[in-house]
Every structure is written in structure tokens, then in C-alpha cells.
Amino acid sequence: MKIYPVILSGGSGTRLWPLSRAVLPKQMLPLVTGQTMLQETSLRLHGRPQLMAPLIVCGNEHRFLVAEQMRAIGIAPLGILLEPEGRNTAPAVATAAHFLQGIDADAVMLVLPADHVINDIDAFYAAIEQAAVMVEQGALATFGIVPTGPETGYGYIQSGAATDAPQCYKVDRFVEKPDRATAQDFIAAGNYYWNSGMFLFRAASYLNELQEFAPAIAVASAEAMAKGYRDLDFCRLDEAAFKACPSDSIDYAVMEHTRHAIVVPADIGWSDVGSWTALWDVQPHDANHNATRGDVYLDDVSGSLVRAESRIVAVVGVKDLVVVETADAVLVAHKDQVQRVKQIVEHLKKEGRTEHLHHTKVYRPWGCYEGIDIGDRFQVKRITVNPGGKLSLQMHHHRAEHWIVVSGTARVTCGDTVSLLTENESTYIPIGMNHRLENPGKLPLHLIEVQSGSYLGEDDIVRFEDVYKRS
């Protein structure tokens, strides 16, 4: 049996602010190890003979980040499907099912969120093999995490009668997130499992059930895929059809209604890393049960998570805190109150601020830039252009730019003139002048950009030509 992993890489991860932002959500971040969560998910699937290259579903704004992160770990995805906007998991998986059926009519899909931790890989594969026995008979399998306590942050799955395959049970019901007393009753009953949001089924089986129980999603997702088109290395779903698709989860649209749902208990060292406390749980602890990352100084601190991204963070005489520092924001919260982080994000949105959208370092398909300083009529940025990277041919109505090369080689187009600049050389781009920056070399290009003018917003860019096909 060939199994096609489908990695769902949508979502904004607002509960992990200030590290997770809209344009750089938690699945794109190295939260637990040196690899990002998307990379970890992809790597744990790599090299198994039954598993094909992954198909990744993500938002349009994350497409170049996904492609670059996969390139960095040497994994070529089967495809990258771009959602015009998030419509929950049922439509995302439906479009992936249509994509796979165009390759293999008997395709079996292993649906995985991109942002989960799985520590026991062997147990994970054992659960997949157990589920595959019933999937061959037409079942739609979900993986129920063996609970370690009365968790109120997860939905639950109640297992029913045994099936013909070992460790595979019919699903009696799905249960919403319970209160603590109900969760304790579930644990005592012994046949309730955390709902992991991971699935194994044939693409055809899922689409058949979707047609029966959620026909509007079935029709819209089929149209979005049929009218989709290739764009560089991406597959763009038809915008109008996909936006018209009802928004619903796999559970609500299919799994709660189908007669073919089974659950496979999985004791795999799993976490969805859905909060700062959950991240503290899965990280190594010191002798005082602290989890740290970055330049951190602790004195008489216990049970805390402290993370420094850009400077030293010193914490003295406290316990059970979460302290997270980034270049433009600091979070301090008690571990019991981390679910309220989402309220901070809502506040930032209402105030029209940008700290929930992006970091001071902003990634682009050609590299990245980072704000260093900003004031009245000026802004300073640190720019990195990857080898072979090429910014669009563009102009600005309201600002001039000065570029100083720190290291590497820059090919600069300014009007009709093309020149090469190397370390310690600089150039000036007047207001209204067509210009382009490229890195023709084998090493990253680092330069300092000084902008000056009456308006310095990123929307003051008129693009004439762009190899990345951005508008």
C-alpha cells in the first residue's frame, strides 16, 4: 500500500504570541528543536518505504516559506496546494484528495497537522500499520491519543466495539472539550482518547462520504481543484470556488456522521503544542524544572519557561512563569493563564498595531529584511539576499534609498545602468527611479538600506517585473 502524507500547514498559532505571528506562525518556527515544526513533521515521514513524498496544503502568504523550509531539509514535496483563504480542514483535505486521485486512483491519505510533536516514532508507525488494515476495507481511521490526564483543552473520542483488526475500534462518538469533572470521568472509563486531528483513509472513501454528508463542500472543493492552475512550483486553487466553500472541520463534516469511522489508540508521545504551557511540557527541563532557550540568566527560578530571541533575559525569584522575549515584544504570564494570550492578539488587532502580524525580521522569497531603526522621514533596514535571489524591478513614489554592501556581491539596476557592488561600496536610488537588486554570487548578500522620504510604507512599491509572480 502506498500512503501519501498530506501535511496541513494552515493556522496562525495565536496562543504562542509573541513568537508566532500571522506571517510566521508556529508551524514555521523552531519551537522544540533546531528544525521548524513543519520540517520535523516532514522528516519523521522521510525514508519509510510505504510513504510517498508529502503533499503540503498552506495559505498563499506562506508559500515561499514552505518551499524554502522543505528545500533546506532536502525534501521535495509531491506538491504545495495554496488555499486562497482558510476554510478549515474538511475543504483542505478534499482538495488534497482530488489532487492525489489525479496521480493514483487508489491513493491512501495520511492527514497530519504540521505543528504536532511526536516523540515515539516507532509507536506512531505501528499505529499507522494497524489503521491501514481497516483502511483497505474502506474504513476512515483517526488516531486517538492515549490520555495522560484529564485534559480539558482537547476534544475526546469514545471507542466502541472492536473490529477485525487488532487495536482498531469503531467510533462511538466525538466529544467537545469537556470540563475537568467530565474529563476525569472519561479517564476513569478507559475508552476515551484525545482527538489528535490525524487521519488515514483512501482519498476515494473520504470524497464519497463528503458527497453524502457535506455535498456543498464536495462540489466547491472539486471545482476549486478542477479550475486550479500551476504557478511556479505551486498549485493554486481557484479563488472564487474555494472561497464559496463552506468552512468546516473533518470531524463535523464527515467523521461524526460516517458509519465507517474507526479509532486507533496511539501512545506516541504526542502534543499539539497549543500553548506555552504545552511547549514547556515537551522541552527538556533543568534541575528546577525550567525550560530555557537563548541568552537566559536564572536565579531562584522554578517551573518556568524562559525564552530569549534577541537579548539577555534575566529572571529572579519567581516560579511557574512564562517569559518570552522577541525584538519587538515581551510576554510575561503565569503558566495557569497562558490561554489568555489570544486576548492580547485581539487587543493588538483592535488597536491597529502590527505586532501580531509580523516580526521585525520579515521573510521574502529572495531572502529577508529586518528593521533596525525608524524615525521622522527615515528608516534603516538590514537586508539579506540569498544566492541567486532577485528582487522585483520596481520604483517608489515617496522614498529614495541608499544601499551599502556589508558582504557579498550585489548586481544593481538603476534606470538604464547595471553595476556590480562589493563589500564597502554603496549606491543611491532616487525617488521614482526604476531599480532592482540581485545576488549573482554563491554567498548570501548582506547590505544596509537607508530609506528617506515622506512615506516609507511597504505598499509604496510599484512592481514592473517579478520572477516570483507577486502582484
Tell me the C-alpha to C-alpha distance, in Å, between residue 145 and each of 3, 20, 26, 159, 343: 21, 25, 21, 12, 29
- In angstroms, rounded to a whole number, what is the distance separating the alpha carbons of residues 90 and 95? 9
User: What are the pLDDT digits (tens) for 443-464?
Assistant: 999 999 999 999 999 899 999 9
The DSSP letter of residue 81 is E
- Position 22, amino acid: A
Return the SS3 of 173. Answer: strand
> In the numeric block, which cell numbers belong to residue 343?
486576548
Cα 326 to Cα 331: distance, rounded to the nearest angstrom: 9
The torsion angles phi and psi of 118, rounded to 5 degrees, stand at -135, 110
Torsion of the alpha carbons at 315, 318, 320 and 324, rounded to the nearest 10: -20
**Which burial class, exposed, middle or buried, applies to 259 when counting CB atoms under 10 A from its CB (0-12, 13-18, 19+)?**
exposed
**Please, what are the domains in the chain?**
3-271 (3.90.550.10), 279-347 (no CATH), 361-465 (2.60.120.10)
| Phi, psi angle pair for 216, to nearest 5° | -65, -40
- Mark the ranges of the chain whose per-residue pLDDT is less than 70: 471
Q: Where are the alpha helices (DSSP H) in 351-417?
A: none
* The pLDDT of residue 396: 97
